[in-house]
Amino acid sequence: MTFTYDHIMNWPFEEVEHSYTVKDSTIYALGVGFAQDPMDMRQLPYVFEEMEFQAVPTMAAVLATPGFWARDPNTGIDWKKILHGEQGIVIHKPLPPAATLLATTRVTEVLDKGDGKGALIFTERDLVDNDTGVMYATLSGTSFARGNGGFGGPSGPQPQPHTLPDRKPDMSWDFTTRPEAALLYRLSGDYNPLHANPIVAESAGFKKPILHGLCSLGVAGHAILRTYCDYDNSRFKSLKLRFSSPVYPGETLRTEMWKDGDVISFCTKVVERDVVVLNNGRAEVSN
């Protein structure tokens, strides 16, 4: 199938029903690093069901997903050359610890960067409670289809990334990921062997399996929840960022944060390599 603007804009996503439990919420929290300090009582409600259990806000990104839809040959997407460029999360109401959700993904725009330069595919999905109709979150994502430029679609306007403040960070948090972090995080639904099998990782040009981008996002969200929300998930309102470089499990992630009112700007670096892995971050919190 040929990649065309109308074809991708009208891609027929099916409605996804996703039931998750307190156990699933716990596995996600552990996967993004909660409770590495077993004495921090503020983190226990995300991993211990005998507390007043809360779900980590960034877990919304892994719920009711359409899967790797770009791999369907009928899309015309060169799926081996596609990258996850950006991710956004808007929380309308805190996620419950367990629920059955419905979501239908939609393509909102496709931009042509030119022949040999790739295409940008923008998507959204709403997470709605199957029983009550309550909308918990809206997820947005941008995929960079490196092999699909020059298809004759519109070239813009392209949304501009959030600009980080030109001053020293107000706060920062260092978090050392565990060597087996990718193997734990994949239990939240992303079973791509790139994150588990050294042979697959080496064939893709990496020295060993890499951490999921959404796991790195979860660590940055953890930093904001810890630093500016005192682990109260009702205060976490939104997050958006760009993925800029991969992370290897076991590396230390330093999230640098700037607070301007209710807006938290942030970026995340690998300390050992001094490489920015998450950039142009913007979150909103409430006091």
List pLDDT tens digits, range 41-76: 999 999 998 889 999 999 999 999 999 999 999 999
Q: Which CATH superfamily is domain 171-285 in?
A: Hotdog Thioesterase (3.10.129.10)
Report the pLDDT averaged over residues 165-175: 98
Confidence label for 96 from pLDDT (cuts 50, 70 and 90): very high
pLDDT of 287: 84
Position 171 scores a pLDDT of 98
Q: Which pLDDT band holds residue 242 (cuts at 50, 70, 90)?
A: very high
209 vs 250: CA distance, rounded Å = 11
Which class is 5-145 in CATH? alpha beta
Averaged pLDDT, 116-127: 97
Q: Tell me which H or E stretch contains 104.
A: none
> Span 147-176, mean pLDDT?
96
User: Is residue 228 within 8 Å of 264, Cβ to Cβ?
Assistant: yes
Overall average pLDDT of the 210-220 stretch: 97
- Write down the mean pLDDT value for the chain: 96
Which residue, chain included where needed, has tokens 């800029």? 244
Catalytic site residues? 190, 195
pLDDT at 80 over 90: no
Look up residue 245 and give its DSSP letter. S
Q: How far apart are CA 16 and CA 66, in angstroms?
A: 7
User: In sequence order, what are the beta bridge partners of 112?
Assistant: 119
How do residues 186-214 score in pLDDT, each as one tens digit? Answer: 999 998 899 999 999 999 889 999 999 99
pTM: 0.94
Tokens 């996703």 sit on residue: 18
**Element of type H or E holding 77:** none
Residue 105 has pLDDT above 80, yes or no: yes
Compute CA 170 distance to the chain's CA centroid, rounded to the nearest angstrom. Answer: 24
Rounded to whole angstroms, the Cα distance separating 229 from 59 reads 16
CATH 3.10.129.10 spans which residues of the chain? 5-145, 171-285
